[in-house]
Amino acid sequence: MIKKHNLKRTASLFLASAFLLTLGHDGLAQRKKRNQKADAAPATEKPAPPKKKEKTYASLVKGMKADEGLFTAYTKDGKIMYEIPKSELGKDMLWVTRLVSAPENFGGGFVASGSKMIEQVVRWEERDGTVYLKKMSFNNVADSTDAIYKSVVNNNFAPIIGSFKVMGQPEDSAAYLVDVTRFFTADTRSISAMSGRFRTQFQVRRLDAEKSYTESVKSFPENVEVRQVMTYDAGRPPSNASAGLISMQVAQSMIKLPEVPMMPRLADQRVGWFTLGNVNYSSEKLKGDQVRFLKRWRLEPKDPAAYARGELVEPVKPIVYYLDPGTPERFKKWFKLGIEDWQVAFEAAGFKNAIIAKDPPTKEEDPDWSPEDTRYSTVRYIANMTRNATGPSTADPRSGEIIESDIIWYHNHLRSYRNWYLIQTGGANPKARTLDTPEEDIGEMMRAVIAHEIGHALGLPHNMKASSAYPVESLRDPDFTQEYGVAPTIMDYARVNYIAQPGDGVERFIRKIGPYDKYVINWGYRVIPGADSPEEESSTLDQWILDKADDRMYRFGSSNGYNPESQTEDLGDNSVLASTYGMMNLMRVIPNLLDWTTTDGEDYTETREIYNESIGQWRRFVGHVVTTIGGVTEDFKSSDQEGVIYNVVPEKRQVEAMEWMHKHAFATPKWLLDEDLLRKLEGYGAVNRIRTTQVSYLNRLLDATRAQRLIEAEAFKGRNTYTIYQLFGDTRKGLFSELSSGAVIDTYRRNLQRAFVARLEFMMNNDSNQFQARQVSIAQSDIRPVVKAELKTLLRDVNGAMSKYSDRASRLHLEDLKDRINNILDPK
């Protein structure tokens, strides 16, 4: 019996023999034909074609404009060539793709001018006459001396995102010349600002090459900058739909990373910081160890010995920000103050003059200076209608070292602060009662915004928890607010003081650098003598946190939607009381809008804008209070600290919040409905505007995840907490308070009562939660039985109240409610 593998071998040999025989037969036939042809006519030898003359290096770049720097860039008539020094091959470089200018409505407000679209590390490598551009990853790392390092390398093979034939070399052979034109003019996905999401959303078909071009190429000692204009054929562009095109201006930055990476500092969730991370396979933990480290500038003391003694020492290389040459002269002072406000925080970390603001050099002083040179960080002044400011930075993914930063101030953000100042503080602050905000005040607000954005560029995220450290009543104290501002950090969204009341004597309404800012800069930037690795720093960093653990001013937290202590745009330690004071001030502003916002001979455009934004402020106050109901606070702790992290908001505070909702959110807002004012602003719209606003509050209040949190709280605490029964019962009683008194039900209340029934109908017929990402099963929880009981109770109350009403609108409304409820309870 022949074994299977022998059969296979025999068959293979047979096929190979047959193949050779075929080759032999064909070969004999071919030779015979050639011999016959040779006998027929003598062969005539053709002359060899002349050798193509190889172009010299000089001829390759002849007539092209040369710009020397990290790479020498040659450009002419849209053609781009790079002279890549051999010394730069294999070096890590950071490639950043940014959106410089975008069409209107691109990105829905979250993507705008200055937005970073792609950030990646690349390396240029040469092999057999071709230069390859590889995308490197530092997501998975290991010590190069460990055996596992080989596996990490083999399982993270770098993709090649570009290849370029070597065109020539200079006489010293120290560089390679490559043509990179097509890399920048084609639709190169690896560096494209048109992401896959936007391609789908806008139905992008292709890059329109005829309408795309490279605008500029500039080379600097540590970076190369390419500016593109890219135009795409799109089926559904975000604006200018008739053109069927999307054009955008894109900046491609290639930045050389430090030869020796900075020592990282390990992150801790108890201290707010922007971080980078990787998985360390050399860790002794029995897993791939996920490590997070801080994004921060490299600050090293000039005199380490004096620094170690506790003396203030200047850094070897301070952080310097240059003002945009286009910054209006009258604002330069405030921008510089906002930048250098952080000096006091760095002094807490042992550094003096650590951050400096400068005017840009003149052409005479430095003809080569450019804000695009990565050696210079800037505050850009952008003249467009965007109402925002941003503080991006570029960091080395190997260590977290911030390489450069460009703060962006959009001119129209002045309008945001002018409006907020009037709306939020006008009730108590006479200086805010005008559209022409005093320059000292608008300057202080610009200063605070620049300081906030600089904070981001230093590595700090928003700290929405900080403002809850200050007692509400302290924000009515002139001495307290003068010393501490409105929150312990400039990094909270605590814009201006809306709590201070007329007669309090408060003069400072604007935020400033606070105690937390000094603490967090010390924690992230202070050099720890004797610590030669991130791990050796850990015990000291942990102790600094523990030293401040019992002081509310040094806590960190971001907004998560259910923690009333960490909310955007709020102030103080009690959202119910703070919003009460805020509403009192707002009600003082509205009756004065015509006096404070109109100018003889002009229309009511400004008044309309302030009125609409006042409604937005009302919504913010309501949102702060809603979060208290079913709220859970969050205080980060390490496992060796006492106490729990999550705590349910006390029942008393939740009851107060529900009472506030009925008084300020669900009651008809007559203070917003001044007919003389509204008839100057619009022909109609008030009733529907109030309806949509109040219904949004109601739906947010009766949210399934909020109800589920109350169910879980009761499961742990019994009835010693605010319950789901109270949530729905208190909402119903407050919304239908007219039924017990027989008071006329006005159109605003009728709309709101119908919305309540509609919300209950939704929860009876749908097993989904439309307001939160975390899904809740309405059908399988206690929610639906509660909803059904509320419908039955409401039907009984409506039936009992019918005899009290004689006005037609109220009676028709109640008849309609009866029919709606009956159809929900018995769809047949």
- Per-residue pLDDT band at 290 (split at 50, 70, 90): confident
Mean pLDDT of 476-494: 97
The residue whose two tokens read 């969730």 is 269
pTM equals 0.88
Mean pLDDT of 672-680: 95
Nearest to 724 by CA among 740, 743, 701, 758: 701
99 has pLDDT over 90:
no
- Per-residue pLDDT band at 520 (split at 50, 70, 90): very high
Q: What pLDDT is recorded for position 28?
A: 40
Q: Which residues contact 791 (CB under 8 A, 6 or more apart)?
A: 757, 760, 764, 821, 824, 825
Q: What pLDDT is recorded for position 51?
A: 61
Nearest to 731 by CA among 706, 753, 763: 753
Q: What pLDDT is recorded for position 277?
A: 84
- 171: tokens are 């006489």
Nearest to 84 by CA among 173, 6, 4: 173
Q: Could you read off the pLDDT of 708-754 as tens digits, one per residue?
A: 999 999 999 887 899 999 999 999 999 999 999 999 999 999 999 99
Mean pLDDT of 794-802: 96
Q: What pLDDT is recorded for position 727?
A: 98
Distances (CA, A) of 381 to 332, 363, 523: 10, 19, 31
The residue whose two tokens read 């097993």 is 767
Cα 369 vs. chain centroid, distance in angstroms?
Answer: 30
Q: Give the least confident one: 2-11, 246-255, 763-772.
A: 2-11
Q: CA 393, CA 294: separation in Å to the nearest integer?
A: 13
Distances (CA, A) of 824 to 119, 674, 696, 795, 815: 53, 38, 22, 11, 15
Distances (CA, A) of 368 to 74, 215, 220, 275, 319: 17, 19, 9, 34, 20
Radius of gyration of the chain (CA): 35
Q: Are strands 116-127 and 140-141 parallel, antiparallel or unpaired?
A: unpaired
Q: Give the containing element (helix H, strand E) for 724.
A: helix 724-735
Q: CA 693, CA 173: separation in Å to the nearest integer?
A: 71
- Per-residue pLDDT band at 21 (split at 50, 70, 90): very low
Q: Are strands 65-67 and 72-76 parallel, antiparallel or unpaired?
A: antiparallel
Task: Give the Cβ contact number of residue 78 at 10 Å.
Answer: 10
Nearest to 175 by CA among 105, 126, 137: 126
Q: Which residues contact 104 (CB under 8 A, 6 or more apart)?
A: 238, 239, 240
- Per-residue pLDDT band at 698 (split at 50, 70, 90): very high
Contact 491, 455 (CB under 8 A): yes
Q: Could you read off the pLDDT of 384-400 as tens digits, one per residue?
A: 788 888 888 999 999 99
- 496: tokens are 């201006």
Higher pLDDT, 159 or 115: 159
Residue 394, beta-bridge partner list = 404
Q: What pLDDT is recorded for position 144?
A: 75
64 has pLDDT over 90:
yes
Q: What pLDDT is recorded for position 152?
A: 67
Q: What pLDDT is recorded for position 286?
A: 64
Contact 688, 749 (CB under 8 A): no
Tell me the angle at which helices 439-458 and 329-340 cross, rounded to the nearest 10 degrees. 40
| Mean pLDDT rounded to a whole number for the chain | 90
Higher pLDDT, 46 or 445: 445
Nearest to 659 by CA among 577, 748, 745: 577
Q: Give the least confident one: 380-394, 432-446, 771-785.
A: 771-785
Q: Give the least confident one: 247-261, 362-376, 525-539.
A: 362-376
Percent of all residues in the chain with a pLDDT value above 70, rounded to a whole number: 91
Q: How many residues are listed for the chain in this entry?
A: 828
Q: CA 166, CA 65: separation in Å to the nearest integer?
A: 19
Mean pLDDT of 693-702: 97
Q: CA 538, CA 275: separation in Å to the nearest integer?
A: 16
Q: Could you read off the pLDDT of 605-660 as tens digits, one per residue?
A: 999 999 999 999 999 999 999 999 999 999 999 999 999 999 999 999 999 999 99
- Per-residue pLDDT band at 768 (split at 50, 70, 90): low
Higher pLDDT, 7 or 541: 541
Mean pLDDT of 594-601: 96
Looking at residue 776, what DSSP letter applies? -
Q: CA 219, CA 70: separation in Å to the nearest integer?
A: 6
In angstroms, the first-to-last Cα distance of the chain is 79
Q: What pLDDT is recorded for position 462?
A: 97
Higher pLDDT, 48 or 200: 200
Burial of 277 (0-12, 13-18, 19+ CB in 10 A): middle
11 has pLDDT over 80:
no
Q: CA 280, CA 263: separation in Å to the nearest integer?
A: 15
699 has pLDDT over 90:
yes
Higher pLDDT, 533 or 1: 533
- Per-residue pLDDT band at 55 (split at 50, 70, 90): confident
Nearest to 599 by CA among 724, 447, 436, 802: 436
Nearest to 120 by CA among 141, 150, 145, 96: 96
Q: What pLDDT is recorded for position 640?
A: 92
Torsion angle defined by CA atoms of residues 641, 642, 643 and 646, in that order, rounded to the nearest 10 degrees: 10
Q: What pLDDT is recorded for position 410?
A: 87
Residue 250 phi/psi, 5° resolution?
-125, 140
Mean pLDDT of 316-340: 96
Distances (CA, A) of 254 to 84, 102, 705: 13, 21, 46
Contact 662, 734 (CB under 8 A): yes
Tell me the angle at which helices 439-458 and 413-425 cross, rounded to the nearest 10 degrees. 110
Mean pLDDT of 658-672: 97
